[in-house]
Amino acid sequence: MRIVPAVDIRGGLCVNLVQGDYDRETVFSETPVAQARLWWDALGEGLIHIVDLDGAKAGRCCIEEHLRALHEAAIPYEVGGGIRNRETVEAVLGAGAERVILGTAAHRDPAFLREVCTAHPGRIVVGIDARDGKVSLGGWLEDTETNAVDFARQVEDAGAARIIYTDILSDGLMKGPNYEATASVARAVNIPVTISGGISALDDIARARPYAADGVDEIIIGRALYLGRFTVAEAKAVARG
């Protein structure tokens, strides 16, 4: 199980939202790239999870300058939020992203998803953000009737390399992730799944380890690291068992 620290960017700041609510925001750093460097220096492997919160609402990449700075600093990263056309995918990859995360566009335009998966094999990830098991779009502002498990099967068929599953009702609440919902998605597909949302203690990481057998091999952690509940090194040690 790998640890993936998160850096969410809004208005040029490193922030965290509760349940995706833009009115429930905490600013943790005024320099997102420097924050990513702190996490990367402690992590030393894998990558950093970057979320463009402004882009998720605007429908376009709003942090390309930050992405280029991350690349120049030799910090590997994946990025999502507002990536909804081929031009933006190419721009983000050109800025140095290891992986590109599609969410809203993957749901609304399956042909586009298949096109970019074919063009960039192994580098296109689909973020499935769900509320009560149903997919949410547009920065979690638009709920749909699409079942998350059904959607997972569709994105695998389109060629996605990985799924990041976020349970919106767990995110930012520090009460633990939704293990079973994530495992249900992982069992439905043959591509790896990242669990996201709600990690609050080292015990939450330990409880996630058995789900590696279902294909859950990464854990995104945000707020708990920022609040100092544990360190990156401690998280890595627990994740490895």
Rounded CA gap, 160 and 114, in Å? 8
Q: Which secondary structure element, helix H or strand E, spans residue 92, and what is its range?
A: helix 86-94
pLDDT, tens digit, for every residue of 53-109? 999 888 889 999 999 999 999 999 999 998 999 999 999 999 999 999 999 899 999
Of 59, 87, 79, the closest CA to residue 124 belongs to 79
Query: Which residues make beta-bridge pairs with 21?
Result: 18
| Active-site residue flag, 129 | yes
Candidate list 54, 129, 167, 204, residue with the active-site label: 129
Q: What is the largest CA-CA distance in the chain?
A: 42
Rounded CA gap, 48 and 159, in Å? 23
Tell me what pLDDT residue 139 has. Answer: 65
Domain locations in the chain?
Answer: 2-240
Q: Are strands 99-102 and 13-18 parallel, antiparallel or unpaired?
A: unpaired
pLDDT, tens digit, for every residue of 181-209? 999 999 999 999 999 988 999 999 999 99
DSSP state of 127: E
Candidate list 8, 52, 171, 204, residue with the active-site label: 8
- 44 alpha carbon, distance to own chain's centre: 19
Tell me how many degrees the CA angle 111-65-61 measures, rounded to the nearest 5: 25
CA dihedral over 227, 196, 13, 53, signed as positive or negative: negative
Name the pLDDT band for 241 (thresholds 50, 70, 90): confident
Rounded CA gap, 19 and 17, in Å? 6
DSSP state of 97: -
Rounded CA gap, 78 and 99, in Å? 5
- Fold classified for 2-240: TIM Barrel (3.20.20)
CA dihedral over 232, 197, 164, 68, signed as positive or negative: negative
DSSP state of 145: E
pLDDT, tens digit, for every residue of 210-227? 999 999 999 999 999 999
Residue environment code for 215-240, b if the CB has 16+ CB neighbours within 10 A, otherwise e: bbbbbbbbbbbbeebbebeebbebbe
Name the pLDDT band for 174 (thresholds 50, 70, 90): low
| Active-site residue flag, 150 | no
What length is written for the chain? 241
